[in-house]
Structures are given as C-alpha cells and as structure tokens.
Structure 1
Amino acid sequence: MVLYALRWQLLKISRGCGAWGRLLQRQSSRFVYSNIHGFDQVEIREKLQAFPGGSIDLLKQDSGIAVLTINNPSRMNAFSGSMMVDLEEKVTQLENWTDGKGLIVQGAAQTFCSGSDLNAVRAISNPQDGMKMCMFMQNSLTRLLRLMASDSVIQFVHKHMGLVPGWGGAARLVHIVRSQNALKLLGGALKVDPKLGLQIGLADGVLEAEDSAGTPLEQAENWLSRYIKGPAPVIRAVKKVVLSGRELPLSEALRTEKDVFGTVWGGPANLEALASKSKHK
C-alpha cells in the first residue's frame, strides 16, 4: 500500500500520515481478533454509530485503482464512530471488487487524519470498549507501502495522549523500522521528515513538489501503477503471499503460499504467458 503524506501541520498530531495507496486483498478469513477475544462486531458497530459525522467516500476506477477519501474536514478528518463503521463497509466492498488491484487512501481538504474524534474517545473511555474499538479498526486496516510529500512530517503522538498504538501500529512499526527506531519514534514522539523516513524505511518514496509534477494524488497513482501492471488476480495473489509472509507464522505462511500458487497456476494469465514465452522478455 502506498502512503503519501500531506501538510506537516496535520501530521505532527496525526497517528498516520498522508494518503495510503494499497494493493488490495485483506485476508478477511484471518482476522487478528474474533469472538474468542470478546470481540462482538455487531455490538461495537452499534456503539460506534452513536457518534456520527463525516464520511468515508470510495471511488473505483477502470484502472483498477480505487481512491478512498477520509472526509471530515471540520474535525481535521478525525474518525468519528460512524466513519469507523463506514471504513469497515468500504473495505468489504473492496474485497469483493474482482477488478481491483490498488487503493489510495487520502484525506479531504489537503489534510489526512488527526486520529479518532475525541468526542467518541471520551465516550468510549473504559478499557474494554476501547480495546473493542481497536479490534474493529485492526480488522479493517492493512498497510504495506508509504509515500511522503516533500513538505510532510510523520509523528507518533500516542504518548502525549497517554496511550500506545492500538490498531496493530506498534507491532507493524517494529517490523518496518526495527525495534530501536520504533522505540525512538514512539518514546520520543520524533518528527520524521522525508529524508529520515527513507533512511529508516518508514517511507518508500518521496513525492515531488506539487507544481512540478502534478497533484499528490496524481503522483501517488503514477507511483502505484508501476507495481500493479498485469491481471488483477495475479496482483492480488502477489499481495496475499507477501502479506502472509509478514503477518503469519512461517508454517501457516508456507501453506498459504502453496494455496495461492494453486489459484494462478494454469490460470488465464499463466497460460497466456506460456504461450507467448514471455518469461525471458
């Protein structure tokens, strides 16, 4: 997935950054949390919907790239409870989009997202409901690739709120930047500019200034398009085996890779490639 980070004024208080473009296919059958952990999806949806405001807008394009917009600019695109429910529904739509190959997530009005709406956070302040909210979002989000705009800054400000990441952010941050850097980012709330982001692996690329190379969204689409050329089933299979290797125990990841291989072996794209002898071109 691709992230491009926008205005630093927002990102210095954000839990994330920019717009996330992602290769599709969340492994919905392997939720991190389930009813075994006391996670009742219907119950938490009802609680979240009590806090309306904003929307999550989805545009699916013929290119196979969809654009998902976090739209709540009056609250700096903070997630209201109803927006969390919207996000889960939009992810489900994307899972069922057979022609989908990539997704870019952006914020409205040239900002990304300032985290959760504090009105909802205050109302769901007991540990049990807070954990359920994190579980809900964990089951909605998967992150892979990140882009930063040239004037952007990423900062993890959880400790200033008396918190730690709760959507799987800490565990994934350790995988991305290693434990030493994760400690610095979370414990020091360091501001990460594009240069440092590239250095520690938090950013996969940096977009150019808007005037010289198009809007951030246009640049993100161009950047993402180079990694999703080809049939949608193959691109989705690539994402699935990589995600399995990152998220699952080795034995389960190997089984998943074998299963996914079976879905493309002898498939239309494989047979066409064999017929055209394209392997060494």
Structure 2
Amino acid sequence: MAKSLLKTSSLSVRTKLLNQVGVSLYNTSHGFHEEKVKQKLQQFPGGSIDLEKQDDGIGILTLNNPSKMNAFSGVMMLQLLEKVIELENWTEGKGLIVRGAKNTFSSGSDLNAVKALGTPEASELCMRFYVLPLISVALVQGWALGGGAEFTTACDFRLMTPESEIRFVHKERGIIPSWGGTTRLVEIIGSRQALKVLSGALKLDPKKALNIGMIEDVLQSSDETKSLEEAQEWLKQFIEGPPEVIRALKKSVCSGKELYLEDALQNERDLLGTLWGGPISLEAIAKKGKFNK
C-alpha cells in the first residue's frame, strides 16, 4: 500500500513531499512498524473515505461516518492515505473538494485510533495531503470540530454554508492540535487571531470566520447537494487550464511556503522547465500571443 512517508530530516521530508516522491508513513525511528500500525488501526472500524474523480478534473473526497459525525476511525485513516496516493497519481486532476457526509464536516477522530497511528505519523499524513498537486477546498457544512477543524487547514481554501461552525475544541479536552493544525492556522489567520481561536475554543460561525480570514466565502445554500454545486463553481475559477499547469502552480506555491529560499527558487525553475517550450505552452502562445492584456 503505502511506501515510506517519514525521513529523519524535516527538510528532506518536505522536499520529497513537494516533488511528490512516495516515502513511508510509518518509520521505525518513531518506534512504529507499518504492519503493526495497520493492524492497530484496523481494530477501529467504521466509516469510509470516498473519492469521486470527475471528468472536469475535480475530485470529491467525502468523509463518510455519519453515525459518529464523520469522525475519523482507524480504518478511515488508512483509507485516507490510500486516497492521497491515488490523488498524487491522478494526472488529470486539478482540484479537490473535501466534505463530510450528511451535511456535517467532521467531529474529529477516534482518540484510540490517533494513539495507534501516533502524532508524527498523523501530522505527516496531513502534510502529504496538504501538498497534493491539486487546488483543494474544504466545504464546511454543519460542524467542523477538533480534528475536523484541523483537517480544514490542510486544504488550500475553506468555504462555509450559512449555518455551519468551525471550532478548535482541543483545549477543552486537555490537548492541543497535533496534526500540524496550529502551524497552518497561524499561517492562515496570523498568530494573534490563532491564539484567540485556540485558547478561547471560539465558535467560528461563517461571519466571524470570514472576518478573520479563516474562510474565503460563505455559500448561499445549506442544502447538501446545492452547496456542493456552489463549491464546484467557486473552485472552477482557479482550475481553468491544462492539469499540468495547475499542478505545477500548486507545487511551486507549496515549495515557496515550505522550503528554504534557494531550494524553492530551484524547484520553481525545475517546474518551469517541465512546461516551457512544451506542447501546452506553444499552443497557448499560438492562441493568445506572447502577452494577453
């Protein structure tokens, strides 16, 4: 199933992730063995991670465990890794919408499953999702609580339906975010706002979330089907064009955020080299000219 995701150097991890090189999710340096962790996670069944890949290059990833408000079970964590690998290799993919089944995003995760996986491994799984070469948006319907709120930060953008809520409830459970959520939240809304949101376990309704920059927009409908259609229309404005170009843009932006300047600049040049003078570039220039005012 999965090859290795973790390496000893955090920079090498990021570099390899940003170049979409498969590595191991379970690394013995953290005291975990892949088969043992799989066996432990499989002891916590329930729910599924469903993926629909559409012809327009948009994938719909659904967290499907409605009896537990779409909380991640152990089996779902394993399936999420499988879907991430599938999306990494989906060469026609350009965008991804993440949502929860039955009008609820996610209430977090089974704590026993999280313990079985381990904090470093869960964090690296979210990192691998975060750097997917697809422009991703979390469609928040209903509640996104705890780990569910954290998972929204692993998407590039967030949209909320009118009656939805995002809340980082970790403090009330005597813990802090451990899947990289704090770091990503600071990047999204800044350190002062992040401290307020986390220390106050604030309830972020759509208006407040929009005001602090947590989300991009509030959708018109709370209906499960209609809000998904709205989210798809919103996403389409950013994925128009060949998948090779969209995927290269996403990789370049990720490297600019995650790598040292010299490495990021080299990665940008390498990505440009895969496109410049190629069929897509030549066709675009022929159609629109060198510059399009």
TM-score (norm 2): 0.78
Asked whether 1:274 is paired with 2:285, we answer yes
Which piece of structure 1 moves more, 163-172 or 37-46? 37-46
- Check the 8 A contact 1:148/1:203 in 2, yes or no: yes
For the 8 Å contact 1:75–1:117, the answer to whether it is kept is: no
**What corresponds to 1:16 in structure 2?**
none
Query: Residue 207 and residue 31 in structure 1: after superposition, are their counterparts in 2 closer, same or farther (change >3 A)?
Result: farther
Query: In the TM superposition, what is the alpha-carbon distance from 1:26 to its structure 2 partner?
Result: 6.3
Q: Secondary structure at the match of 1:245?
A: helix
Q: Any residues of structure 2 matched to 1:226-265 within 5 Å, and which? A: 226-265=237-276
Q: Kindly tell me: are residues 173 and 32 of structure 1, through their superposed partners in 2, closer, same or farther at Cα, counting changes over 3 Å?
A: farther
Q: Which has the higher contact order (CA 8 A, sep 6+)?
A: 1
Letter in 1 for 2:129: L
Alpha-carbon deviation of 1:206?
Answer: 1.2
d(CA) in 1 for partners of 2:176, 2:245: 37
Matched, 1:85 2:43: no
Q: Is the CA contact (8 Å cut-off) linking 1:33 and 1:135 kept in structure 2?
A: no
Count of aligned positions = 251
For residues 46-103 of structure 1, the C-alpha deviation after alignment (integer angstroms, 9 at most, x for no partner) is 3212211111111111010011111111111110001000000011111111110011
Q: Check whether the contact 2:25–2:121 (CA below 8 A) recurs between aligned residues.
A: no
Q: Structure 2 counterpart of 1:178, which letter?
A: G
In structure 2, the partner of 1:116 is 109
CA distance in 1, matches of 2:127, 2:33: 12
RMSD across aligned positions (CA): 2.5
Q: Secondary structure at the match of 2:238?
A: coil
Provide closer, same or farther for how the CA distance between residues 262 and 32 of structure 1 changes in structure 2, counting only shifts above 3 A: farther
- Equivalent residue number for residue 125 of structure 2: 137
Q: Within 5 Å, which residues of 2 pair with 1:153-172?
A: 153-172=165-184
Shift of 1:198: 1.9
State the 1:120 CA deviation.
3.0
Counterpart residue identity of residue 157, structure 1? V
SS at 1:203's partner residue?
coil
Which segment drifts farther, 265-274 or 220-229?
265-274
User: Structure 1 residues 183, 227: CA separation in 2 closer, same or farther (over 3 Å shift)?
Assistant: same
Further displaced range: 233-242 or 150-159: 150-159
Could you say which residue in structure 2 is the equivalent of 1:218? 229
SS at match of 1:103: strand
- Partner of 1:66: helix, strand, or coil? strand
Aligned to 2:216: 204
Do 1:65 and 1:102's aligned partners in 2 also have CA atoms closer than 8 Å? yes
| C-alpha separation in 2, matches of 1:89 and 1:158 | 27
**Whole-angstrom distance in 2 between the partners of 1:81 and 1:136:** 16
Aligned to 1:35: 27
Alignment of 1:7-26 (within 5 A): none
Structure 1: any 5+ residue segments left out of the alignment? 1-24
Q: Which moved more, 1:139-148 or 1:73-82?
A: 139-148
**Cα distance in 1 between the residues matched to 2:254 and 2:23:** 13
The alpha carbon displacement at 1:134 in A equals 2.2
Contact 1:48/1:82, CA 8 A, preserved across alignment: yes
In the alignment, which residue of structure 1 is the partner of 2:56? 63
Counterpart-to-counterpart distance in 2, 1:97 and 1:68: 14
Contact 2:58 2:93 in 1 (8 A): yes
Letter in 2 for 1:28: Q
Unaligned runs of 5+ residues in structure 2 are 1-16, 131-154
Question: Which residue type is aligned with residue 250 of structure 1?
Answer: L
Task: Report the counterpart of residue 12 of structure 1 in structure 2.
Answer: none
CA distance in 1, matches of 2:212, 2:25: 30
CA–CA distance in structure 1, aligned partners of residues 35 and 260 of structure 2? 29
Q: Alpha-carbon deviation of 1:243?
A: 1.1
